[in-house]
Amino acid sequence: MNIRETLESGHSRANTQKIADHIGGDAARFKELIALFLEGDYRLTQRAAWPISVCAEAHPELIRPYLNTFLDLLPRNDLHNAVKRNVTRLLQFVEIPKKLQGKAYSHCLDLIADPKEFVAVKANAITVALNIARSEPDLMDELRMIIKPQLKGATPALKARVKTLF
């Protein structure tokens, strides 16, 4: 399978699953997908983000070498919503190493607090931050403090995501 051609042929659940099935747990194929994602072409990056998150959910070990790269994408404002949404989605499924937890937590708090950020990105960022904060009571308090103002006028989906915090 030519991953680039499949991505260029259209953006659909079927294509996403076809790519994820082709990659499976193969690190070399996953690296090829990551290269296309990071290439910079707007459309290709957007379309590669979804299969990356599907692969990360099924094979979280594949994402470890790229965690820092993905974390560096989160504060950027020049990315399509799909990129941040899928990066925060995949971070829910991986164990973030201690040395990157501070960076991940900080970026997630920024996303949660940003009034212009999309709800799906915020919801995923809440889960990532919660996964990190569970072992640190002080972080849980900080997370609650950041999330509480977000609940006023929040969507039911966002409220459901945070119900375990309050």
Are 101 and 149 members of one domain?
A: yes
pLDDT at 74: 95
Are 117 and 53 members of one domain?
A: no
Distance, in Å, from the CA atom of 91 to the CA atom of 131, rounded to the nearest integer, reads 10
Are 58 and 68 members of one domain?
A: no
Mean pLDDT of the residues in the chain? 91
Are 34 and 115 members of one domain?
A: no
pLDDT at 124: 93
Place of tokens 């994602």: 37
Range of the domain at 49: 1-62
Are 101 and 151 members of one domain?
A: yes
CA 46 to chain centre: 13
Which of 11, 28, 62 represents a domain boundary (last residue)?
A: 62
Are 43 and 99 members of one domain?
A: no
Name the pLDDT band for 161 (thresholds 50, 70, 90). confident
- Token duo for residue 140: 């849980």
The yes-or-no verdict on residue 165 having pLDDT over 80 is: no
Are 95 and 146 members of one domain?
A: yes
Which of 36, 62, 88 represents a domain boundary (last residue)?
A: 62
For residues 110 and 77, the answer to whether their CB atoms sit within 8 Å is no
The yes-or-no verdict on residue 152 having pLDDT over 70 is: yes
**Which pLDDT tens digit goes with each residue over 89-128?**
999 989 999 999 999 999 999 999 998 999 999 999 999 9
Task: Calculate the dihedral angle through the C-alpha atoms of 149, 150, 152, 153, rounding to the nearest 10 degrees.
Answer: 160
Are 57 and 108 members of one domain?
A: no
Q: Tell which residue, 99, 97, 26, 22, has the closest CA to residue 64.
A: 97
pLDDT at 13: 94
The yes-or-no verdict on residue 133 having pLDDT over 70 is: yes
With a CB cutoff of 8 Å and minimum separation 6, the contacts of 50 are 11, 16, 82, 86
**Which pLDDT tens digit goes with each residue over 28-66?**
999 999 999 988 788 898 899 899 989 998 999 999 999
Residue range 19-27: average pLDDT?
Answer: 96
pTM: 0.86
Are 41 and 86 members of one domain?
A: no
Are 112 and 149 members of one domain?
A: yes
Distance, in Å, from the CA atom of 123 to the CA atom of 112, rounded to the nearest integer, reads 8
- Alpha-carbon torsion (147, 96, 121, 117), positive or negative: positive
Are 68 and 56 members of one domain?
A: no
With a CB cutoff of 8 Å and minimum separation 6, the contacts of 165 are 130, 140, 143, 144, 147
Are 117 and 50 members of one domain?
A: no
